[in-house]
């Protein structure tokens, strides 16, 4: 096991060093749509005024994404927080693999293509249908389809999961209409391609952490069995559902495209299926449904077609899900969790279901399980299965209850917690609910900091990316909120490009170190070195710099 070296002049923090991740809480100017600023948050406001704070980059190249126009997300954010390093992430890995041709030369791609050529079957593509670049990118899908045709595939069906979360909340037709033109341009020489099914990403298929298996079951019925309300095309389905439900894209019901009353793209024996999302958390369950044997018990699959199934990446490296994948995921090594376990430092990680995997799996470099059963304690508080805007406080009070008990136990020098409120409620587009979520979070931070002082510990308060800080779509030219036809502001449900705060709450040891000048270069990957310095250790050489300097 890897061990940390003791610092020459260790700080010797008596209590725990607690890292608090306020998921989705970025720093932005005051404005009508800034739920962080509009909320009554006396604790957070006081922290920013009275304690050392720097801004951390949480998007783009600072977290391993292709460009600085790419929004950060919880997966890459927690990878950086937990590893102390920046690794090329899914979007960049896939783009590079496509550009170099390595993806199409892979054994997995050849198996997918050859399977349908041999059986005269259909190649199905299933995934999130946008250019949000958080879970997928539509350009990746187009490249795969184009190459499939060049490789001799004759029939393709596309199953689209509508976004409205990492992109505009009602932007689905901005992707569907150009894609229909793209498909029409390919339909020659006997090549047959159609959209076969779809639905909102928060309604079907893309559940995570096994919070709501009925979502996956509904997706299975839609994509595989072709069961559901039928429409002539995707545009008709989206238009009709919007008129009937007034839902945003992520919440639209499932639909099946049919001709003469028959679904155009059920998944059958001899077909191949590629789940083209590159991010793992919302890809694992549908992959299990396709690959599991007769012992699968999450729902009745009715029939399980014999297909060649592949993911864009390997979504779980320890459990090897899926068994076939097109691009190898980043190999994230030398994480903080591994070093602390090797040094004998006990760790405690807690969140509710929606973000539990982020303080465990993603924090540990996309690794399932623990480095040490003896030294690590992971606690999951079950999330409510309700729309988050209806219960915006989520489980923050219950998380705090359990965390305070663990702090007072004295067992854990290193502790971490994720409060999902700002992100999960922010994604709903409800400004009022997101303001409420921030106020609920502020109350719990106040509770925690009292115990930090009681135990003579230190708290590091930060976030993984922005979201709640911009709840309205903004015109890039004017800076003004965009408006709907009725004059109301257009809700924003995606992450932001804003930096996030990093606050050092320390009432006991600040004379033993200095906080480095904020020159706008700090990122999420600098948090790990800061935490181990406070724990009394030197950071490993491969980690990015600490935000503090020991005296």
The 10 Å Cβ neighbour count of residue 303 is 11
DSSP character for 328? P
Our separate counts of H helices and E strands in the chain read 17, 18
Backbone angles phi, psi at 199, to 5 degrees: 160, 170
Is residue 545 within 8 A of residue 4, CB to CB? The reply is no
Q: What does the H/E/C string look like for 500-538?
A: EEEEEECCCCHHHEEECCCCCCCEHHHHHHHHHHHCCEC
Nearest-5° Cα angle at 413, 505 to 375: 145
Q: What is the DSSP string of 220-275?
A: HHHHTS--S-EESSHHHHHHHHHHHH---GGGPPPEEEEETTEES----TT-EEEE
Tokens standing for residue 337: 């969790």
Is residue 535 within 8 A of residue 17, CB to CB? The reply is yes
Q: Please report where in the chains the tokens 């739920």 appear, as a residue.
A: 35
Query: How many residues can be counted in the chain?
Result: 551
Is residue 472 within 8 A of residue 489, CB to CB? The reply is yes
Tokens standing for residue 134: 């958080």
Tokens standing for residue 438: 């921030």
**CA–CA separation, 541 vs 546, rounded Å?**
11
Segments in 42-171 forming alpha helices (H): 42-50, 74-83, 90-100, 102-105, 107-119, 138-150
* Terminal CA-CA length for the chain: 29
DSSP character for 71? P
List 9, 74, 287, 546, catalytic entry: 74
**CA–CA separation, 277 vs 326, rounded Å?**
11
Q: Please report where in the chains the tokens 């199953």 appear, as a residue.
A: 159
Helix pair angle (527-534, 336-343), 10° resolution: 20
**CA–CA separation, 311 vs 37, rounded Å?**
40
**CA–CA separation, 534 vs 307, rounded Å?**
52
Strand, coil or helix: 428: helix
The reply to whether 287 belongs to the active site is no
User: For the CA atoms of the chain, what is the radius of gyration?
Assistant: 24
Q: Cite the active site residues.
A: 74
């Amino acid at each position: 096991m890897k061990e940390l070296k003791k610092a020459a002049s260790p700080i010797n923090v008596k209590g725990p060093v607690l890292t608090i991740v306020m998921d989705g809480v970025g720093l932005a100017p005051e404005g009508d749509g800034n739920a962080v600023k509009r909320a009554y948050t006396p604790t957070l406001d006081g922290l920013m005024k009275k304690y050392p704070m720097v801004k951390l980059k949480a998007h783009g190249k600072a977290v391993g994404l292709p460009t600085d126009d790419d929004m950060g997300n919880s997966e890459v954010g927690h990878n950086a927080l937990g590893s102390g390093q920046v690794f090329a992430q899914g979007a960049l890995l896939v783009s590079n693999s496509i550009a170099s041709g390595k993806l199409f030369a892979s054994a997995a791609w050849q198996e997918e293509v050859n399977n349908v050529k041999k059986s005269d079957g259909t190649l199905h593509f299933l995934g999130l249908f946008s250019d949000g670049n958080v879970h997928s990118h539509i350009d990746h899908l187009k490249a795969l389809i184009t190459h499939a045709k060049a490789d001799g595939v004759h029939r393709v069906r596309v199953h689209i999961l509508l976004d409205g979360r990492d992109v505009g909340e009602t932007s689905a037709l901005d992707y569907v209409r150009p894609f229909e033109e793209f498909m029409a341009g390919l339909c020659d020489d006997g090549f047959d391609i159609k959209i076969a099914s779809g639905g909102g990403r928060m309604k079907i298929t893309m559940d995570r952490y096994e919070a709501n298996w009925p979502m996956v079951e509904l997706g299975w019925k839609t994509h595989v069995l072709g069961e559901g309300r039928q429409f002539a095309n995707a545009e008709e389905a989206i238009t009709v559902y919007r008129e009937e439900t007034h839902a945003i894209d992520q919440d639209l019901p499932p639909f099946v495209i049919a001709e003469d009353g028959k679904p155009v793209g059920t998944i059958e024996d001899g077909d191949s299926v590629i789940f083209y999302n590159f991010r793992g958390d919302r890809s694992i369950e549908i992959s299990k449904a396709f690959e599991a044997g007769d012992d699968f018990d999450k729902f009745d699959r009715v029939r399980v077609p014999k297909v060649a199934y592949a993911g864009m990446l390997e979504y779980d490296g320890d459990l090897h899900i899926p068994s076939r994948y097109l691009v190898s995921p980043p190999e994230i090594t030398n994480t903080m969790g591994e070093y602390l376990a090797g040094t004998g430092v006990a760790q405690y990680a807690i969140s509710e279901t929606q973000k539990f995997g982020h303080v465990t799996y993603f924090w540990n470099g996309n690794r399932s399980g623990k480095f040490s059963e003896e030294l690590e304690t992971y606690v999951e508080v079950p999330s409510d299965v309700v729309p988050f805007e209806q219960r915006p406080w989520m489980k923050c009070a219950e998380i705090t209850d359990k965390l305070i008990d663990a702090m007072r136990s004295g067992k854990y020098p290193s502790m971490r917690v994720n409060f999902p409120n700002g992100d999960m409620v922010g994604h709903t587009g409800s400004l009022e609910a997101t303001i409420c979520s921030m106020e609920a979070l502020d109350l719990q931070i106040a509770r925690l900091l009292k115990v930090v002082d009681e135990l003579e510990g230190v708290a590091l308060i930060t976030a993984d990316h922005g979201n709640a800080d911009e709840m309205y779509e903004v015109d890039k030219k004017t800076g003004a909120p965009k408006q709907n036809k009725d004059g109301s502001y257009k809700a924003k449900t995606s992450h932001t490009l804003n930096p996030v705060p990093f606050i050092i709450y320390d009432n006991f040891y600040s004379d033993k170190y200095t906080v480095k000048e904020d020159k706008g270069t700090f990122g999420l990957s600098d948090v790990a070195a800061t935490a181990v310095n406070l724990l009394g250790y030197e950071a490993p050489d491969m980690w990015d710099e600490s935000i503090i300097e020991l005296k």
